[in-house]
Structure 1
C-alpha cells in the first residue's frame, strides 16, 4: 500500500506480503537438520522478497526512496533481528526497513515529521519575509491609531471651547432676562408709569425712557 506524505512529497510504499509460510516451516521443523533447512529456505524467501520490494516499489519521483516491509508478528520481528542479522543488513542496503506492528505507525509518523521539518526549512526565507511585512503593517497601524488619537484629542478640546462659549451666551441671556421692560407712556399718564407687572410708579420717581420706548429705568430719590 501507499501512504501519502505531507507537502506533496512522494508516497511511502509499505509491503505486507510477508512470506509467513517459510516461518511456519521453521516452527514446524523437528530436529536440528530440518530446522537448518527451513531456516535456509526462510532466509532465501526473505532475500527474494526484499529484492522484489526494491525493484517494484522504489520508483523515483513517485515513491519515497525507502520502503517498509511489514512483519505481522512481534515474535517474528524479534527472531529476524536475533537470528537472521544478514537479512536485516541486506534490507537496509536495499533501503528496505523491516517494521513490526508496534513500530509501523511510529515509523510513519517519524518520516512525516522529518518531511514537514524539511519543508519548513525550505520555506524559512518565505516565512521570514512574511513576518517582516507583517511587522511593517503593524507599524503603519500603530501610526494611524496615534493620528486618530490626536484627532480625538483636538475634537475634545474644540467641544470644551464650544461649551465655554455657550455658557457665556447663556449667562448674558439671563442678565438680559432680568431687566424690566414696559410700554411707551401715553399722554395724560406722564405723572405715572407702569412697571413690567402693571403697577404704578410711586410718587416722586423719575422715569428715563429709552430711544425705542421699550426700556424704562426707574430712579427713586431717597430722603436726604
Structure 2
C-alpha cells in the first residue's frame, strides 16, 4: 500500500465529513431562516397592527384635542365677551363717578349758599309731604296771624292742631365743625353750632307757636340724615332743650315716621267727619221716614173714607136699580099712539 493512500483516505473522509457538516448546517440555516422569516412576518404584522392602533389613537387624540380646542375657544370667546361687558360697565361706572363728582361739586356750591340750601331743604320737604299726605292736609308758605310765613303748615284737627314746619337749618357752623383742623377750632365751631341751633329754635318757638291757631309744637326739618344722626349723637342736649320749648328736630327718616302718624290722624279725622255726616243723613232719613208714615196714615184714612163712600154709592145704586125694576114691572097703558092718531 502506498504511503499516500491513508492520507488520501483520511483527507477524503475529512472532506466528506465537512461536506456532510455543511449540508447539515445549511439545512439548519434554512430552518432558522424560515423561522426568522416567520418571525419577521409576525413582527411586521404586529408592527402593522401597532401602527394601525397608533394611527387610530392619534386620530382619536386629534378629535379630542380638536373638541377641547373648540370648547376652549368658546370659553375664551365667552370670557372675552364677559370682559368686554365688564369693561363697558366699568366705563359706565367711571362716567357715573365723574358725573357724581360734578354733582357733588354742584351740591357743595348749593350748600354753601343759604338761599340755595333753603330751596334744597324745601324741595325735599315738599317731596316727603306730598308723598304721604293728601292735598287738603297741608299748605305751602302759609301766613300765620302774626304775619310770619312758615315753609309748610300741616292741617291737623284739634287736638293737636295745625303744625308748622321749618326747613331752614344753620349749616355754616356745622361745616366749620367738620372742617376744623384741630381740637380747639372744633370746640369753637361746636359752641357756635350749638348757639346757632338754640337761636333757630328760639325763632321757631316765637314765630310758629300761636295758642288757639297752631299746635303746641313745631317741627324743624333737617334735610340730611347724616347731620341729624351726628347732631343727635353729639348734641343730644339740644334735642331735649328744643323739645322743652315745643320745637322737635326731625331728619328725613324720623319726619317720614311723623308724617305716617299725621296721615293716620287725618284719616281718623276724615272718618269721624264722614261718620258725623252719615249720622246727620241717617237722622234726616229717620225724620223723612216718620213724615212718610204720617202721610201714609192720612192716606190710609182717606182711603178708608173713600171705601165707605164707594160702599154707600154701591148701596144707593142697588136701590135705584131695584126701584127701576119695580117701575118697569107696573102695567101702565101707553097713550102715545092715541095722541098720535088724534
Please report the TM-score for the alignment, with normalisation by the length of structure 2.
0.37
Among candidates 18, 23, 28, match of residue 174 of structure 2 = 23
Structure number with the bigger relative contact order (C-alpha 8 A, sep ≥ 6) is 1
Q: Count residues in correspondence.
A: 174
CA 1:24–1:146 in 2, change beyond 3 Å: closer, same or farther?
same
Determine which structure has the larger helix proportion and give its number: 2
The answer to whether structure 1 residue 95 and structure 2 residue 246 are counterparts is yes
For structure 2, the residue ranges without an aligned partner over 5 or more in a row are 1-149, 336-342
Change (3 A) 1:171 1:81: farther
Tell me if structure 1 keeps the 8 A contact 2:228–2:250: yes
Counterpart in 2 of 1:189?
A: none
- Cα drift, residue 99 of structure 1: 2.3
Pick aligned residue for 1:76 from 227, 242, 262: 227
Q: TM-score of the superposition, structure 1-length normalised? A: 0.52
Listed as ranges, the gaps of 5+ residues in structure 1 are: 180-208, 215-224
Using the alignment, how far apart are the partners of 1:150 and 1:62 within structure 2? Answer: 57
Shift in alpha-carbon separation, 1:167–1:58, aligned structure 2, 3 A: same
1:47 aligns with 2:211: no
Is 1:141 aligned with 2:262? no
CA distance in 1, matches of 2:312, 2:225: 88
SS at match of 1:54: helix
Structural mapping, 1:1-224, within 5 Å: 1=150, 3=153, 5=155, 12-29=163-180, 35-60=186-211, 63-102=214-253, 103=255, 106=259, 109=262, 113=266, 137=287, 140-141=290-291, 143-151=293-301, 153-154=303-304, 157-158=307-308, 161=311, 164=314, 168=318, 210-213=331-334
C-alpha offsets along residues 17-55 of structure 1, whole Å, 9 cap, x if unaligned? 211223333444456665554434322321222122223
SS of 1:82's partner is: helix
Tell me the secondary structure at the aligned position of residue 220 of structure 2.
strand
Asked if the contact 1:5/1:112 (under 8 Å) is kept, the reply is no
CA contact (8 A) 2:163 2:218 kept: yes
The CA distance in 1 between the partners of 2:238 and 2:264, in whole Å, is 23
